Structure 1
């Protein structure tokens, strides 16, 4: 009887050890071509009751022949079966060939209302392969670490792994190529860890409360606009709101201990500030994050 009890204990112990082990962080897409997770981040937004998953993975070719990523299809599913009702998503699509001994990255995110997802992961090639996110140690972030600020220079987000700073304290505006350009607005991303991490990058936007320059003449500089008389019968010019087209670059990930400064420009076509009242702050800039459910706003005035 004692021997039977001992055998049962050994069986239970074995089941506990193997039943709780992590799934392997590797799937073979085809012979000698595999995919491995490099980072997974979840962002919990308690105010909106939503969750975002960001993921970064590497596809490596150890074969003798090139691997064309155009043959690759992937999407995020729950347990390789269930479709997810999403509120936002993005995934990069590599379109080049991976030669022998080389690799490439896939990056994406998916946001959804908090519900019953159990085993999210990347499903490849019509569910032939599945790489669960829980195969990797998932980092966690929260909207509680976002700072609400109207200052021109501040920290948008910071936790133990990542810091995101905003600096518009030295912003300037010029007029060139028939548009007003707001320059020198910077976002700095800093990786505090010794590993490569994914970045939930910000998506800035801006508006200009100003004058429509359509049919107002040709201008070569902001100085010319500032000196021009836009009044009509002694009345101040009509102002309106103009949305900017935004240029800069999107940052997907940071290498260990890496810091990257990104400069953002806002372009307002055929529009300029109204210099009638120099006390106004016509540039309204928003630092947006859907994942965190935040949009910090600050205003930039005239010189």
Structure 2
């Protein structure tokens, strides 16, 4: 795949199916995306999501650049240089309002599931989901709470990786800027969830282990109260060690999902160590 005039062109040489939506804004900041955000649709099929994105509901208009169905079919709805309304209130590496900077990719999937009294699984709409399509896992923001999640199809993952490679190549997007909705809107959003192995996706898209953060110096970008330095990755049951003031220099030792093990740099040396969310870290030179 490749990008041609802000449209996705398939390996066949044909453009991906395009279904236009009225739910789009003007040009992205800088005229091109710098971030890719992965979502699940919270629905059964791509067709349902596409219909929603085509509508002009008074309850709120939403859209995405790409929608990927269970069989890997990709439908584009917004050119890559235009704003789609997929991120909502969001923040990533010093940017607020990620719709203005990103490509949004929706993958057809129910997401978080509920267990029935009989031991089965249902979606938020009450639709039954076969046990063969369910995995049990905690969400990275709530590591002590295990839930059921619909698995993603192999065809979806392969299509997602191929599309991301094309977008990354066209717009020179960096490894740390391929993220989930739960990265840019932590706690408020939980998609794409643990069934989407984002670390593996990044590794395959960029052809290496994503080490963009590891062993590098960053600064805390948290005006106001500063940033919590926590004992463990995640929020649930994770004690706050101290507050890191805005502008603090930290050395990123390791990245665990969306959480970074950092050491506060004092006098040129590593000092107190703990975990922070990568959302609030920007490269030292930025």
TM-score where L is the length of structure 1 = 0.23
More helix by share: 2
More strand by share: 1
Structure having the higher Rg:
1
TM-score where L is the length of structure 2 = 0.24
